[in-house]
Amino acid sequence: MDKKAKKRHAVLAKKRANLRQQISTVRKFPDDPGELVQLEAELAKVEAEIAKLEAS
């Protein structure tokens, strides 16, 4: 990975950790049923991009 890809990977890893925390909170306190689905979709997108970066 070049420098730009490493930086992007670090940003995505931080975002992934934040999303996992948000998902955990939403599961404990389900105020909006659509919010969990949205967060899980965003997490899947972030994880796919991380996998793409790691593969290159």
> Which tens digit of pLDDT belongs to each residue from 1-46?
789 999 999 999 999 999 999 999 999 998 888 999 999 999 999 9
- Read off the pTM: 0.88
Q: What pLDDT sits at residue 34?
A: 92
Q: What pLDDT sits at residue 33?
A: 82
User: Can you give the three-state secondary structure of 4-43, one letter per residue?
Assistant: HHHHHHHHHHHHHHHHHHHHHHHHHCCCCHHHHHHHHHHH
- Rounded to the nearest 5 degrees, what angle is found at the Cα of 18, between the Cα atoms of 12 and 30? 135
Q: What pLDDT sits at residue 1?
A: 75
Q: What pLDDT sits at residue 35?
A: 95
Rounded Cα distance between 31 and 40, Å, is 15
**Domain assignment of residue 11, given as a range:** 3-55
Total count of domains within the chain: 1
Q: What pLDDT sits at residue 50?
A: 96
